[in-house]
Amino acid sequence: MKLLISLVVILKLVATVTSLTIPENGKLWAVLVAGSNYYYNYRHQADVCHAYQILHTHGIPDENIIVMMYDDIANDEENPTPGIIVNHVNGSDVYHGVPKDYVGEQVTSQNFINVITGNKEAVRGIGSEKVLESGPNDHVFINFVDHGAVGILAFPSDELYVKDFIDALNTMHTKQMYNKTVLYVEACESGSMFEGVLPPNINMFATTAASADESSYACYYDDVRQTYLGDVYSVNWMEDSDAENLKSETLETQFEITKNETNTSHVQQYGDMTISKLSVSGFQGEKDTEPKHVPEVPFDAVPSRDVPLHILQKKLHKLNSNSLEARELQKSLFKLNRNREIGRAHV
């Protein structure tokens, strides 16, 4: 089905790829961020690790890729395959080789801002101390994955507000830190980080998992790992990048494919739409690779905010209802539902 949808979209677009996507002497840079922690948020780090593998395989050197993730999932006691993270049911390991630039409590909104604005002094003594050192001939790819709300992207212990985010993007532009920048953002209400606030004239193009007022969706529940392995928007664009020739596919085509295959939320695009005519390889790497295809499995998609609830329900369904573990899970499920009702009452 995915292949059929992809072919239909490509034929419909009849997109012309701009061959020279990176200015002469330009480089590719990337910042990949998983803004959550705890095992039930497994999918966020899995998404970011998968994104790293795509960029690395397509030739972007590690010194130009900056990764921020809590790094508490691979060796969590709940993980039945220690040291391994997958992004698809029965998928291959995506954790190997991933740089550990900023981990644990270093994953903050301020460190993220410092990284993308090239503020080396502000991160001195923190993590790898890597920041974007890109210039006016370079392309930058930013991928953020986590929870969100209207005007907010979440980090493990704080939040990034839309004004601060847009200010940072404007700073990148003012400092001539890129020729063009592309952002892919996976979060609930992620459209609110760009809608009506991303200037159309600063050479940035963004796509988001959801509109400004809806949830994004988790997918690929794994009975072995007892958690969701990915997010619908993220696995759709990444599985497309794995399977396609990135030099002959435009960002517009990847957006349309991802939009069509993400039937759980409304994938959006913002900013300078002329950038969408450029090839995906101009931001995700230009090295030729062998296409990778994964077997189709049901998305089993659920709203991101409901993930803890659905995990508990699935665990409970597999247990003898009279067992001690089942009774403990029933208590946890009751508390979770009660807290959700209290939360709704105060909205």
Catalytic status, residue 58: no
The full DSSP string for 75-107 is: T-TT-SSTT---SSTTPPP--TT---SB-GGG-
Chain centroid to Cα 110, Å, comes to 19
Could you tell me the two tokens for 53? Answer: 């593998």
DSSP label at residue 315: H
Give the number of other Cβ atoms within 10 Å of residue 82's Cβ. 9
**Of residues 49, 88, 139, 188, which has the active-site annotation?**
188
Chain centroid to Cα 35, Å, comes to 9
Could you tell me the two tokens for 133? Answer: 């050192």
CA dist 192 and 153 (Å) reads: 10
CA dist 320 and 112 (Å) reads: 45
**Of residues 139, 147, 219, 317, which has the active-site annotation?**
147
**Per-position b or e across 14-53, b if 16+ CB within 10 A of its CB:** ebebeeebbeeebbbbbbbbbbbbebbbbbbbbbbbbbbb
Do 234 and 263 contact (CB within 8 A), yes or no?
no
Residue 290 — left, alpha, or beta (φ > 0 → left; ψ -120 to 50 → alpha)? beta
Catalytic status, residue 147: yes
Catalytic residues: 147, 188
